[in-house]
């Protein structure tokens, strides 16, 4: 049985996310545009978390931080340094999917803040295979350890100092990192 459906339906989760983004103050123009797109698109998706249902779907990522800075990985297909994240599996909430992806892609024992998942950013961007990702980005903490991703993941995963991570990031991630650094 689908655990997520028992707790809240996809429609309820999307409704809560829309309410949260409607009340939020975007960190920059890129996030403002992403919020507008999310509010327009997400409520129309039949299966918003299913990558196979529609080319546009909600994904989850982790902004992984710790004593050493920020963890990024070199995405295998896009050849860009990005935050860990990806598709949400059946039965997962977006926060659970983001946490699983961050653990798989970094090999670190990342955790949500003690107070619970903290959604810190939204970015709408093109994904592979003509998809559009409505990417929910959650703050996560990692111990002071070296990344050790699984054999089937990108092996190029490392800690970066904040300024370096911001300088090498695309516009969506750079804005997110600036906003998270101000929050911490």
Parallel, antiparallel, or unpaired: how do β-strands 132-141 and 118-126 relate?
Answer: antiparallel
Q: Give the per-residue pLDDT at 106.
A: 97
The closest alpha carbon to 35, from 44, 46, 26, belongs to 26
Q: Give the per-residue pLDDT at 129.
A: 83
HSE on the CB side for 128, CA within 13 Å? Answer: 10
Q: Give the per-residue pLDDT at 7.
A: 65
Question: Which CATH number does 3-183 carry?
Answer: 3.90.79.10
Residues contacting 83, CB < 8 A, separation 6+? 61, 62, 63, 64, 71, 72, 73, 102, 137, 173, 176
The closest alpha carbon to 69, from 181, 182, 172, belongs to 181
Residue 141: enclosing H or E segment and its boundaries?
Answer: strand 132-141
Q: What CA–CA distance (Å, rounded) separates 171 from 135?
A: 14
Low-confidence spans in the chain with pLDDT less than 50: 1-6
Cα–Cα separations (whole angstroms), residue 104 to 7, 87, 123, 154, 160: 25, 12, 21, 10, 19
Torsion angles phi and psi, residue 132, rounded to 5: -120, 125
Torsion angles phi and psi, residue 153, rounded to 5: -105, 165
Q: Please give the model's pTM, rounded to 2 decimal places.
A: 0.94
The closest alpha carbon to 83, from 160, 179, 181, 184, belongs to 160
Q: Copy the structure tokens of residue 116.
A: 């619970």
């Amino acid at each position: 049985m689908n655990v997520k459906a028992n707790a809240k339906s996809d429609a309820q989760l999307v409704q809560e996310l829309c309410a949260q983004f409607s009340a939020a103050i975007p960190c920059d123009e890129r996030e403002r545009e992403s919020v507008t797109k999310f509010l327009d698109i997400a409520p129309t998706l039949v299966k918003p978390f299913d990558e196979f249902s529609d080319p546009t779907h909600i994904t989850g990522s982790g902004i992984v931080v710790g004593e050493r800075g920020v963890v990024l990985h070199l995405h295998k297909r896009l050849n860009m340094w990005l935050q860990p994240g990806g598709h949400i599996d059946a039965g997962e909430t977006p926060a659970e999917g983001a946490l699983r992806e961050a653990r798989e892609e970094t090999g670190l024992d990342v955790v949500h803040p003690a107070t619970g998942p903290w959604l810190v950013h939204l970015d709408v961007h093109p994904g592979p295979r003509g998809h559009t990702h409505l990417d929910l980005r959650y703050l996560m903490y990692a111990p002071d350890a070296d990344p050790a991703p699984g054999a089937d993941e990108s092996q190029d995963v490392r800690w970066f100092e904040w300024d370096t991570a911001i300088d090498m990031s695309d516009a969506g991630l750079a804005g997110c990192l600036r906003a998270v650094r101000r929050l911490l």
